[in-house]
Structure 1
Amino acid sequence: MSSINASFSQSILIVHPEYFFIIGLSGIPYSTYYYIFLFITYFFSIIGNSIVLLIIALDRSLHSPKYIGVFNLALADIGEINALIPNMMRTFLFNSQYISFNACLANMFFVFFFSSMQSFTLVVLAYDRFIAICLPLRYHALVNNTSMALIFTAVYVFNCTVVSMMVSFITRLSFCESNMIPSYFCDHGPIYRLACNDNSLNKFMAFLIASLYFIVPLVIIVLSYLGIFLALTKITSLEGRLKALKTCVSHLLLVGTFFLPIFCVYFSQLLLSLSPNARVICTSLAYAVPPMLNPIIYVLNTAEIKDIIQKVFRNRSVESISK
């Protein structure tokens, strides 16, 4: 009886390490140049997305459903880049690979929360374009500031709930062998694979997260654009088609910038069997580069934002000349 009790108590014993060690970036050759590139990426991401946020917040003409989506995308970009790169720079500058257990869970939450917000925001922007082109007469009834605020509130609550569940399930794992994470942040997959007890629930959450945040959004976006292209065929004039299609260019570029690197990395791992260093570099770039490109895409492809920036610089140049 005592042996049964001992084995039972051993089976429910959960061991959490005081620290994890993030070792994914430790073996990269010429890592100094890579970290310099990451710093440049971080700098331009923060500056570019902050400018977009300020322009949308301060200019009342941009307080529209479409720019509520753009505002949330810039917010998600800043959140994701802050969750990723400062920790990577700390590892490089101070040769500090360790992170406490609770800080690791927090890092995991914020990276997945903000990257999934990017994905969901692209879906909401696809919905905006679909209604604008396929149902133009009902656009203001279906898409307005109130409806967009409600949609994003629901997305934030849903996203927070799912990601919190994923992170909380890590606490039920026991890490009795290794605490070395072969990644560049506290990644969910590499961490649950270190566990020495049953991790089947975590595997299911990994599949659920991949489906909800990458596969399902991409399918919805593709279907929405099939509907848009079908609606464009019903427009008789070529000028009308091009005008409607032009409103989708910036969104299509954002979709490509977000989804293509992720799927390229995924298929490269399947087909080419990437080395650990190559996998870490490719995956980190797939997450770090889009937040830098997104504000550039919107500034260059959105007439309203471009006009506001040109107006600001024009006014400043006039003021400097008058002085």
Structure 2
Amino acid sequence: MEDLKQTFLEELKSVRNLADLSNIKVKYLGKKGIITSDLKSLSKVPPEERPLLGKRINEIKQFIETELDLQESRLKHEELKRQLLSESLDITLSGKFIPFGTLHPINKVLSEVTEIFIKMGFSVEEGPEVELDYYNFEALNIPRDHPARDMQDTFYISDDIVLRTHTSPVQIRVMEKRKPPVRFIAPGKVYRCDADITHTPMFHQVEGLMVDKGITFSNLKGVLEAFLHQMFGENIPVRFRPSFFPFTEPSAEVDIGCILCNGAGCRVCKTSGWLEIMGAGMVNPRVFEYVGYDPEEYSGFAFGMGIERIAMLKYSIDDIRLFFENDIRFLKQF
């Protein structure tokens, strides 16, 4: 054992790098190494000598392990020292520019719309994108045989489950759980089977609802005009046109003066000088009956707008598909 120890120390002196050290480690401590073989051979030693010899072999093993660890630390330190001496860093060089990301134009507009309504006292509510037919249609006064369903090309998962075609179901869900007064907006993704330069199968909407005693069409007009003037500028003209929605009565389409031609008439506004921006109206009493509100006591208004539509007008974009192609040249402009 003493000869083995001295032989190991002589070989350790010849080590110049980590590869040499690894070879010695395998030679003495590997599965077929000298120490491992000695331990296995104890079975051939007379029983009375085994404890003493086993103890001595283990002492040699621990000595070798300690010396190998010390030598490894020394070699690694020397390697790091050589590396530091051979390499240099010029701290006068300018750093590499890493461009920062920014909000997608849809998210920018969505955040701006949400912030305006929050300042006007509206809260923000959310609901599921995979919706029951009841909440998406029935409770909004659109029964199964109603022709208004043709206005919304729907993705049906089953007869009773759809991808929501608007965020109006959130209004029903909130009114079921909360008594008047209520005042909130419902932003989120919606889905319809439609695709061209102004429509995509998935897009974003923000719908709003206000219900209380004594709410009139004047309140609706005042809120929406205030919103549109903050969104597009104080001087933008606003008009309301009679329209039809099953869940509001009376209903209106809301237009703003064309921001591209200032009302003179162009290709975008089809020479009318006006651009349709959202739909709105007073909540139909039938809807209140579904959620347990007394239409004789309460009244309210609702409105809805497409975020892509507003973004296209705000940034003069003529193809909605640009928002979803993620061309970095397009997105860099925002």
Question: The TM-score by the shorter chain falls in which range?
Answer: under 0.3
Q: TM-score under structure 2 normalisation? A: 0.24
TM-score by length of 1: 0.25
Structure (1 or 2) with the larger CA radius of gyration: 2
The structure that is strand-richer by fraction is 2
Which of structures 1 and 2 has the larger relative contact order (alpha carbons within 8 angstroms, sep 6+)? 1
